[in-house]
Structure 1
Amino acid sequence: MFKYIKAWFIISIVSLSYAQAEPLAYYFPEEPAYRSNIPTPESTLGFEVGSRHVRHDQLVNYFQQLARVSDNVLLKEIGTTNEHRKQVIATISSKTNLENLDQILADRANNKKQDSDAPAVVWLGYSIHGNEISGANASMLVAYYLAAAKTSQATELLDNLVIVIEPSLNPDGMDRFTTWVNTNRSKTLNTDPNHRSHRLQWPSGRTNHYMFDLNRDWLPLTQIESQNRMRNFHIYKPNVLADFHEMGKDGTYFFQPGVPSRTNPLTPAKNIELTKLFSTYHAKALDTDNRLYYSEESFDDFYYGKGSTYPDINGAIGILFEQASSRGYAQESINGVLTFGYGVKNQVMTSFSTLNAAFQNKAQLHKFRDDFYKENLKLADKEDFKGYLITENNDSRRLNSFLGLLKQHQINVYGLTKNYEDDDGYYPKESSYFVPLQQDQYRLIKTIFSKVTSFKNNTFYDVSGWTLPLAYNLQTQEIKSLRRLNIATAPWQPKSESTPTPTVTSYAYAFSWDHYLAPKMLNSILEQGVQARVATKSFKQMVGQKLITFNPGSIVIPAEIQTQTDWFEILTKVQQDLAIELTPLATGLTVEGINLGSPSLKPLKPVDILLLGGKGVSQYEAGHMLNYLDNQLSIAVTVVDLHRLDSIDFSRYSHVIMVNGEYSSISDRASKKLKTWLEQGGNIYAQKKAIQWLSSKELLEAEYISKNRINRLFDTNGISYAEKDALAAKKRIAGAIYNTQIDNTHPLTYGYKGETLPVFKNSTLIMEKPSKPFMMVAQFTDSPLLSGYSAEEIQETVGNNAAIIAHNVGKGRIVASSENLVFRGYWYGTSKIVANALFFSQTFSSK
C-alpha cells in the first residue's frame, strides 16, 4: 500500500472485454507481496471480485476465513436480520492492538480523553442500501489487503488504527438485489439500461425486509439492523465513520463535504474542517487515476438520522461516498460504459484514502473528540434551562419506548421521586422523567427535543423536522430550575412490565384502549375466537373499593357471549404476554353511564387486511405500514400487487389499505369490484396520493388544493434563473411536523386524551375541509407548523384544512389521511389512528 494510493489507479471506465473479470492486480496494480496463508477473495468465492455480485453468505464466509487464519482480524456477529442473516463486523488492527482491544475500548468508554499514541478507530460501513452493492464487494478487497499485504503502509495502518469493517449494513436487501442481478445476468453482458438486470422490480434491494431505508434509521432506530449496529457503535465510539453508497449511473463520484450551507448548525465547525481535510486525500487518490469526482454539491449534512451525519453529533467525522452505479455488471452512461469492477475500485480507493487520512491526522481526531465533549458541557451550562421534563400518564408502552430509544443513544434519563407541578402542567412521579442537558450527549438531546422552524438554507435532502417527543405524542417542557424538582440518583433502566392476572372468571373483563399495544391484544383474542365489544360511551364501575372510569374505546369481554370453553385461558395468556391491565367486572350494572348489555357496546370482528402493493406503490410507505401492523401488532397482512387485482376476490377481506402511490394502472374492472365490495360493507384506509385516486373514482368525498393554486402563492415577478432552486424549495414540504385539532369524540380517535395531535407532513397534498358535518376526524390548526421548515404561504394554505376524514359509502366505510400516520416506524403518536380504522370502522357513521 502507498501513502496516497498512487500508482494503482490507472484504468478508467473500461471496455466490456475487461468487465467480465477483474483480477486482484486490477485493484492493486503494484502487486505487493502477500502473506500466502491469507485467502484471496477469489480463492474463497470461486470468482474474482467484480465479475459477479457476491451473495451475503459468501461475503460473511470470506470474512470468517480471514478471521480464522489472520492474527489481524477479529469477526463478531452483532445480530440477526428479520430474514435470519447474520450481521457481522470485522475488527482489523495489529496483533498487539487486538490483544488489547478490550482495554482500548474501555479507555474510550464514557468519552474519555485519548492519549496521542492511542489508536484511532475508523468504521467503514458498506452498502446500507442493498442495491448499492459496490461497497460490499469492495469490503473484501480492503480487508484482504490489510490482512495480507507485506508493506510498510499496511503495517502503519494496523499499528495506528482500529479498523471496523461492516461489510454489509443491509444483508436482506443485499441478497434481494444480488439474486435479481445474478438471475438476470446474460452470458454476453448487456449494457442497455433497459435490460432487466439493471431494473429490480418492487420492492427494490435498496430497502430491508420491511422495506425501510436503513440510512434514515440511525436516529429513530426502529429496525433490528439499526439497533444491533447502534449497540456496537457506542462500544467502539469511532473517530471516523465512512458511509459507502451509490447513485445514478450518469454520476461520477461524490465525497463530502456536502453543500456548505446545508450543514446542521449543531455540527461543530471543526468537524467541517476535518471533513474538508479528508477530502483532499480522496481527491489525491482519485486524481492519480484521472477519475471524475465532485464535492460540496447535491448532498447535505443536516439530518442526524443518516450514517454520514449521526457520527457528527457523537464526536466523530461522518463521511458520505456516492459511486455512480452500474446496477448490473455493465451499463451505458454519459461517461461511457460503466462497469461493476470500476465502481468497486473507486470504493476501494476511498476506503484507503480515509484510512490514510485518519492515520496521518490521528492526533487531530483525538483532540477533536476530546474538545467535542468538553464543549458539550460548556454549551449545556450556557443554556437558560436545565433540561426537559417528559410525562405520559396513560400509555406506559409509548413512554417506555421513547425512554428506551434515548438509552440506546447513551442519553441518561432520571425518574422523579416526587410529583412535580408548575404553571405549565402536572407531572406524576410514576410516569414522569427528567433529561438533564448537562451530560455528554447534550447536542444529541438538543436535536431530539428542539422545535426548529427557521433555517439558514431552506433546501433539504431529507426531512427538516424530527422532534421525537412530538412523534411519540409525549408532553414535554423545559425546566428552568432544579430547585423544586426531585429526581432519582440513578438513570432509568428498562424493566419488564407486569400486571396482575385474574385467576377466576367474572361477569366480564375490560381493558383500556390507551395502551400502545391494546390493538395487538384485541387482535390476538379475536383471532383466537374470544368475543369482544367496544364501548362507544363511557361508564363507571366499582372494582373492589375503587370507582374506575372506562372511557369510550374501552374493550369489554362479557362472559355470557363466549362460545369457546377455553376463552378465559386465552384471554389471560395474552394479557400476561403483553402486560396490559385487565379489569374484572363483577356485574353488568354500572355506577354511571351505559350498562354492559347496552347497544352502545358494539361487537368487534377479526380483521382480514389486503394491502395494495407492487409497481407504482411506495415501497417505503408499504413497508412502514407492514412494520406497524405485522412487526408491532402481529396482525397478518396480505400484500397483492396492483396488476393482480382483476383476479382477487375482495369478499374475503374486511379492509383494504392503500398507501401513497400511483393507482392509475388499476383496471376499470378492478375499480368496479372494489366499489361494489365497499358499498356492501367493506372498509378502506387510504393515505396521500391514494386518496386522490379514490376521489377520482367518486368513492371518497374530498377536494384538494391544486398545484396551480400552490404555484400562485409565490410571486415570481422579476425572479432570476439563479433563484430557481430556492423557489422550488419553498414550494415543497421536505418533512415537517404539523399540528392538528382532533375530534376526540370520534371512534377513530379512541385512545387519545388531548385535543391536538402532531402529524408528520412531507408533501404538499392538501385536502380541503369537507362541507358536510361529521366527516372531519383531524383538522390542521390555524398556525400548524410545530417543527421543521415550511414556507409561510404553504403553512397558511394547509391551516384549517383536513388531515383525516371518514365517511360512509353504502354499508362500507372509508378513512382518508393526507399524511403517512406510521412514518418510518417511529410515529407512535399517530399510528393508533390506523388501528382504530381497522377495528372501529363500523362503529361510526357520518350520516
Structure 2
Amino acid sequence: MQCTGLCSAILAGSMMLFSGAVVAAQSVPQWPVTDYDTTPDIEEILGYPAGSRISSPEQIAEYFEALAEAHSDRIQLFDYGETWQGRRLFYAVISSPQNLANLSEHQSAMAALADPRQTSASEAESLIDGLPGAIWIGASVHGNEISPAEATLVTAWHLLASQAEETSQLLDNTLIYIDPLQNPDGRARFVSRYYATVGLEPSADRLAAELNEPWPNGRTNHYLFDMNRDWFALTQPESRGRVAAFLKARPLYYVDSHEMGGDSSYFFAPSAEPLNPLVTESQRESLVDLGKNNGRWFDEFGYDYFTAEIFDLFYPGYGGNWPNYSGSLATTYEMASARGHHFKQSDGQILTFADGVQRNFVAFMASIETVANNRRQLLENFYAYRQSGIEKGSQRGAVGSYILPNQRDTAGHQRLVAILAEQGVEVTRTTGNFRACGETYEAGAYVVNLAQPSHHLARVLLDPEVPLAEDFLQEQERLRANNLPDQIYDVTAWSLPHLFNLDLVTCSQSLNVAGELVDSTRIEPGYIVEGTTETDASYGYVVRWGDMNSGRLLTAALREGLRIRSADSSFTHADGREFEAGSFVLPRAGNPDNLTEVLTELTRQTGAIAEPLASSWITSGPSIGSGNFKPLPTPSIALLWDEPASVLSAGSTRYIIEQEFNYPVTAIRPAQLRSADLSAYQVLILPASGRAGAYQQALGEQGRENLSNWVARGGVLITLGNATGFVVEGEEPLLASALERKASEQAVADEYKGTSVEGRLITDTEDYQSYLVSPEAQPDWVPGIIARTEVDQEHWLTAGVHEQLYTTYIGNEIYTPLRISNGRNVVNFAGSDELLASGYLWEDNRHQIAYKPYLMVQPEGRGLVISFTQEPNLRGYQHGQFTLLLNAIFRGAAHATPLR
C-alpha cells in the first residue's frame, strides 16, 4: 500500500458497532511517508480498526500470535509467567532476521557486559561492535490505562509492515522487546465493565457511568496490587516473571507506558525532582537526550507534552525507575486518558482513545530511534555503570559490605536474600564463623559484598537511608510553611531490612568470606528434629514461634484439623529447653495416630522445624494444661470488601492471608455487614478506607450496632489504618481512643464569627502563619517514612515479635493512647529522638507522633477490638509485620470467649 503525507494503515472512514450504534474510528497509525506490505492489520485479525475498540487481553495475544505466524523471522513471542487468574504473560521481540536468529547469543553478550569481573574492557569493546541496542516497551501495568497496550499492536504492525529504509535500519540496530500487557487481569476487568456499561453510543461526559469505574477499578491486578510499586518487593507473579525476563534481556532502555488524567497532555523524560542519588549523572543526561528526541517528533506532529514537573525518579519500585539501578535507563511515559472512547476535556475538546494510541505509537517509535542512533554509546555506558559498581564497593572508606547476622527470623532472612537474588544481587550465605569490622559472626550469616556489578541496586534496596537532595527538602519546607502542598510523589523510605524488621550491619571492608551464593529459593524445606531416648516425642511436638515458617505450619495444621495449644508467655521444659511466647504444642492426645507422618509433610512444605516432647512437664512458665496455654481455634475470617474500603488495603490484606498465610478469607460487602448474622465468623477485618469517615456513611448506625453486638458475643474486630477512625466514633465507641487534631505550641486564631473579633498583634512571619491555620486543622500529611516502635513484650498479642518493630507511617492520623482501664497499647511509636528510622518527616509531626499507639487492643464483652493505627499490610512488603497480624487473627480468636 502506498501512502503520501501523513498516512494511515486504516482507512479514516472505518466504522464499528456499539449496541446498534455506529461510531467513526480515527485513523491510526499516522506516520510520515512509507510503504506497507500485506502484513495482517488489526482489522483483518480482530475485526475492527486500530484505535476503534479497546482490545481484551485475549484479543491482544491473538493479534501478536498472528504477527508471529506471518513473520516468524522478524518477531518471536516468549511467555514469562501467568497471572493469578491464569492469564498468559508474554513479550514479543522484533528485529531483523539476522538479529533474531542470534537472539540467544546477543543475550549472552549482554550478560557478559553486565559482569566486568569476567569481561575485560577490550572484550567488552569487541562485544559492543556486534551487538544491537535493546529497548523494552512495557505497556499498561495499570489495567485501566488502556491506550499503551493498544499502541503496542500498532507499533508491532508498523515495524513489520513498513517497507521504508528507515524502518529496516531500526531493525538492524535494535532488539525491540514489547510487553504488550503487563496486567491482563486488570485490563480484563476494565474492558468487561466498560462495554457492559456503554449505551447506544459512548459518552464523552465525565459523569457518564462508563467513564467512572466501580470498585475495584481496573488499575490493579487480581489481588488489587498496584504493580507499579512492586518491582523490588516482588510479591506478585507478574512482577517476578517480568524481572526475570528483564534480566535475561538486559535492555538499554525501559519504557514504562502509562496514562494519567484526561485533562493533561503527554509526559516523558526527563523526570521531576527528586532524583535518587544512585541514578548517575550520565544516566540523567541520557534520559534528557531521550526526551529531546521525543519532543522533536511530538513537535512534528503538533502534539503537546511536558517534562520534569511530576513523576520523579526516587522510589525504586516503579517500572520507570527500578531498571536504572541495573545499569539500564528507565523512564515513565504518561498519556492523557480517555478512560473509554471519548472524554470531554475541561476546555471542551474531545479526547479519544485513538488519540492516545497514536501519541503512544509516536513516542514508542521515537524511543526506538533514540536507541538505534545511540547504540554504541548506550552499550558503553551500560558496561561502565556495572564497572563503576565494582569500583565503588572497593573504595577505601566507603561501605564495602552489608551483613545480615541471621540471629532471628530464619524465614524472613531466607525470603529477603531470595528477593535480592531474583533481582541479580549477589548474596553469600557463610559456611563458617568469620570476623569483620571488629565483630565475630556465626556461620549462616548473609553477606552482600558491594564490590559487585549490582552495587547500585544493592545499595538502593538495603541502605537504611536514601537521602533526598537538600535543596529539594528546603523547597518542601518553604511550601509547607506557606500552607501549600509538598511535591513528594511517593514514600521516602523503603529499606528492605527495615521492612523485614531485620538487623543490618554496615562494614567498611569488601568481604570475601567462605560460603555459597544464595538463589531464589524463598522457603527451604523444614523437618522434625530427631528424638533421642531422653527427648523423644512420646507426648507430642513443639514448634517455636516468631517467623513465617512457624506461621505457615500453624495455619496448615489448623486446616488439617490438628489440635494445637499455644503459650501466652515463655516457658521451660523439664529437659531444659526454653521456648518463646507463642510457641505451640501438638500433643498426641486428641490428634490423629499418624501425627508424625502428617507433621513431617507439613514441616517440609512450610519450612518450619518441629521438636519432640517426651512429656508435658514444664519447670517454669505456664503449664500446657493451664489457661495461659490457649487452645487455638480454626477461625473463619471475614474481610470487608467493596466501597468504602481502600482497594489497595483490602487487596494486600487478602493476599497476605491467602497467599502468605495460606488461609481462606471470605469477602463480605458492606450491605451484608449492616444487618447480616455474622455468628459464623470469629474474625472480621476492616481494611483502611479511601477517605476518612467513609465507614460510618457506608455502614450507618445499623451496621455499627450489628458489629458492636457481634464483638460483644465474642467476635474479634481488626481495624487497619484509618478504619480505626470508625471504632473511635459515635456515642458508644468500640475503642476508647480518639483522633488528635494538629498540635501547636503557638496560639491558633479562633474561627472568624460575626462581623468583628478580638484584636491580636501579629509579631512575625511564624505568628502570621499560625493565623492561617484552622483550629480544627489535622496534622500535616506525611508522604511515607519508616518509623521505630517499641513493643510490649509481655502481651500475648506481641508473642514472637522483636522488642523493636519498624513500620511505615503514611498520612496524618494520630490516635490518643488507651487508658489502662480500657485496654492496652501493645505497640507504641518511639520517642521523638528515636522515632524516624528512614525517610523525611516534618518536625512537628515527629513530636506529635512520638509515644502514640500503633497497635491497641480493647476487650468488648466476650470479644476484642484490635486496631492498627497504620496500615500493616502496605504493598504486601512489610514482612516484619506478618507475625503481628498472625497473632491478631489466630491468637486473638483464641483469647475471645464466645459462647460455644
Which category of TM-score, normalised to the shorter sequence, fits these structures? over 0.9
CA deviations on 1:45-78 (whole Å, 9 max, x unpaired) are 1111222111101111111111122010010011
Q: Secondary structure at the match of 1:840?
A: helix
2:827 corresponding residue in structure 1: 778
- 1:712 and 1:657 map into 2 onto residues whose CA distance is 40
The reply on whether 1:554 has 2:583 as its aligned counterpart is yes
Question: Which moves more between the two structures, 124-133 or 315-324?
Answer: 315-324
Asked if 2 retains the 8 angstrom alpha-carbon contact of 1:170 and 1:208, the reply is: yes
User: Structure 1 length normalisation: TM-score?
Assistant: 0.92
- 1:394-405 to 2 correspondences below 5 Å: 394-405=408-419
The aligned residue for residue 378 of structure 1 is: 391
Q: Which amino acid aligns with 2:583?
A: S
Structure 1 match to 2:53: 52
The equivalent residue for 1:390 is 404
Partner residue of 1:610? 638
Q: What is the distance in 2 between the residues matched to 1:107 and 1:718?
A: 64
Aligned partners of 2:17 and 2:306: how far apart in 1? Answer: 26
Distance 1:143 1:191, change over 3 A: same
Alpha-carbon distance change, 620 to 716 in structure 1, aligned in 2, over 3 angstroms: farther
Moved more, 370-379 or 262-271: 370-379
1:278-330 residue CA offsets vs partner (Å, 9 max, x unmatched):
11221122222222211111221111110111122121211211111111111
2:808 corresponds in structure 1 to 760
Distance 2:615 2:265 in 1: 74
Match of 1:704 among 730, 734, 739: 739
Give the letter aligned to residue 771 of structure 1: R
2: distance between equivalents of 1:519 and 1:608? 17
Task: Note closer, same or farther for the CA distance 1:550–1:741 as it changes in structure 2 (3 Å cut).
Answer: same
Count of residues paired in the alignment: 828
Give the structure 1 partner of residue 561 of structure 2.
Answer: 529
Distance 1:712 1:348 in 2: 57
Q: Equivalent residue for 2:755?
A: none
Q: Which residue of 2 is the match for residue 743 of structure 1?
A: 792
Q: Distance in 2 between matches of 1:108 and 1:24?
A: 41
Preserved contact between residue 737 and residue 785 of structure 1 (Cα < 8 Å) = yes
C-alpha displacement of 1:688: 1.5
Task: After TM superposition, give the deviation of residue 734 of structure 1 in Å.
Answer: 1.2
Q: Distance in 2 between matches of 1:34 and 1:53?
A: 24
- Which residues of 2 match residues 251-400 of structure 1 at below 5 A? 251-259=264-272, 261-335=273-347, 336-382=349-395, 383-400=397-414
- 1:674 lines up with 2:707 in the alignment: yes
2:451 equivalent among 438, 458, 472 = 438
Task: Name the CA distance, whole Å, in 1 between partners of 2:280 and 2:365.
Answer: 25
Normalised to the residue count of structure 2, the TM-score between the two structures is: 0.87
User: Which digits, 9 at most, give the CA deviation of each residue in 1:363-406, with x for residues without a partner?
Assistant: 22122212212222232233433211002234322111001011
Matched AA of 2:664: A
Task: Give the structure 2 partner of residue 688 of structure 1.
Answer: 721
Per the alignment, in what secondary structure is the counterpart of residue 582 of structure 1? strand
Q: Counterparts of 1:420 and 1:117 in 2: how far apart (Å)?
A: 45
> Which of residues 233, 246, 265 in structure 1 aligns to 2:246?
233
Amino acid corresponding to residue 101 of structure 2 in structure 1 = E
Contact 1:16-1:189 within 8 A present in 2 as well? no
- Counterpart in 1 of 2:198? 185
Any idea what SS the aligned residue of 1:651 has? Answer: coil
The 3 A distance-change label for structure 1 pair 370 and 719 is: farther
| Alpha-carbon distance change, 228 to 453 in structure 1, aligned in 2, over 3 angstroms | closer
2:461–2:496 CA contact under 8 A, matched in 1 = yes
Q: Unpaired segments of 5 or more residues in structure 2?
A: 116-123, 474-486, 750-763
Contact 1:418 1:486 survives alignment (8 Å): no
Moved more, 682-691 or 114-123: 114-123
Task: Give me the whole-angstrom Cα distance separating, in 2, the residues matched to 1:535 and 1:713.
Answer: 51
Note the C-alpha offset of 1:25. 4.8
Q: Secondary structure at the match of 2:494?
A: coil
- Aligned pairs for 1:34-49 (under 5 A) are 34-36=36-38, 38-49=39-50
Using the TM superposition, give the Cα deviation of residue 649 of structure 1 relative to its aligned residue in structure 2, in angstroms: 1.6
User: Corresponding residue for 2:476?
Assistant: none
Secondary structure of the structure 1 residue equivalent to 2:601: helix
1:101 corresponds to: 103
Distance 2:320 2:778 in 1: 23
| Aligned amino acid, residue 45 of structure 2 | T
What's the secondary structure of 2:240's corresponding residue? helix
Q: Any idea what SS the aligned residue of 1:444 has?
A: helix
Query: How far does residue 710 in structure 1 lie from its aligned partner after superposition?
Result: 10
In 1, the alpha carbon distance for the partners of 2:252 and 2:24 equals 33
SS at the partner of 2:128?
A: coil
Cα distance change of structure 1 residues 434 and 502 upon mapping to structure 2, 3 Å threshold: closer
Say which is worse superposed, 512-521 or 271-280, in terms of deviation.
512-521
Residues 195 and 408 of structure 1: CA distance in aligned 2, closer, same or farther (over 3 Å): same
* Cα distance, 1:210 vs structure 2: 0.7
CA distance in 1 between counterparts of 2:43 and 2:384 reads 44
Per-residue deviation, 1:9: 9.6
Mapping 1:449-468, distance limit 5 Å: 449-452=462-465, 454-456=467-469, 457-458=472-473, 459-468=487-496
After superposition, the Cα gap between the structure-2 partners of 1:494 and 1:251, relative to the gap in structure 1 and judged at 3 Å, is closer
One-letter amino acid of the counterpart of residue 586, structure 2: I
Q: Give the distance between the partners of 2:424 and 2:283, measured in 1 at CA.
A: 21
Task: Return the offset for 1:421.
Answer: 6.1
Distance 2:171 2:227 in 1: 30
Which structure 1 segments of 5+ residues have no match?
none
Deviations 1:764-785 (A, max 9, x none): 2112233326601111111200
Q: Aligned with 2:886: secondary structure?
A: helix
Distance (whole Å) between structure 2 residues aligned to residue 517 and residue 8 of structure 1: 61
Aligned pair in 2 of structure 1 residues 22, 164: CA closer, same or farther (>3 Å)?
A: farther
Q: Shift of residue 509 of structure 1?
A: 1.6
Instruction: Determine if contact 1:453/1:789 at 8 Å carries over to the other structure.
Output: no
Equivalent-residue separation in structure 2 for 1:10 and 1:84 (angstroms): 33
Q: 1:509 to 1:177 in 2, by over 3 A?
A: same
Q: Which moved more, 1:375-384 or 1:227-236?
A: 375-384
Q: Decide which of 525, 538, 541 is 2:570's aligned counterpart.
A: 538
1:355 is paired with a residue whose SS is helix
Match of 2:422 among 408, 411, 432: 408
- What's the Cα RMSD here? 3.1
**Matched-pair contact (CA < 8 Å) for 1:730–1:791:** no
Q: Secondary structure at the match of 2:830?
A: strand
Q: After the TM superposition, which of the residue ranges 407-416 and 729-738 deviates more from structure 2? A: 729-738
Of stretches 710-719 and 778-787 in structure 1, the one that deviates more from structure 2 is 710-719
Verify: 1:802 aligned to 2:860, yes or no. no
Are 2:547 and 1:518 equivalent residues in the alignment? no
Question: Contact 1:116/1:366 (CA < 8 Å) preserved in 2?
Answer: no
Alpha-carbon distance in 2 for matches of 1:418, 1:568: 33
Contact kept? 2:133, 2:371, Cα under 8 Å: yes
Q: Which letter does structure 1 place at the counterpart of 2:808?
A: F
**CA–CA distance in 2 between the matches of 1:810 and 1:92?**
66
Deviation at 1:565, TM superposition (A): 5.5
Q: 1:549 to 1:339 in 2, by over 3 A?
A: same
Is residue 255–residue 321 contact of structure 1 (8 Å, CA) maintained in 2?
yes
5 Å matches for 1:119-158?
Answer: 119-158=132-171
- Whichever residue aligns with residue 830 of structure 1, its letter is Q
Gap change, CA 1:812 and 1:423, over 3 Å in 2: farther
Aligned residues of 1:21 and 1:50 also touching (Cα < 8 A): no
Q: Which moved more, 1:414-423 or 1:184-193?
A: 414-423
Distance 1:560 1:31, change over 3 A: same
Separation in structure 2 between the aligned mates of residue 502 and residue 593 of structure 1, nearest angstrom: 25
Q: 1:665: which partner in 2?
A: 698
Task: Using the TM superposition, give the Cα deviation of residue 420 of structure 1 relative to its aligned residue in structure 2, in angstroms.
Answer: 4.3
Alpha-carbon distance, 1:22 to partner: 7.0
Structure-2 change in CA distance of 1:845 and 1:647 (3 Å) = closer
- Tell me the amino acid that sits aligned with residue 829 of structure 1: G
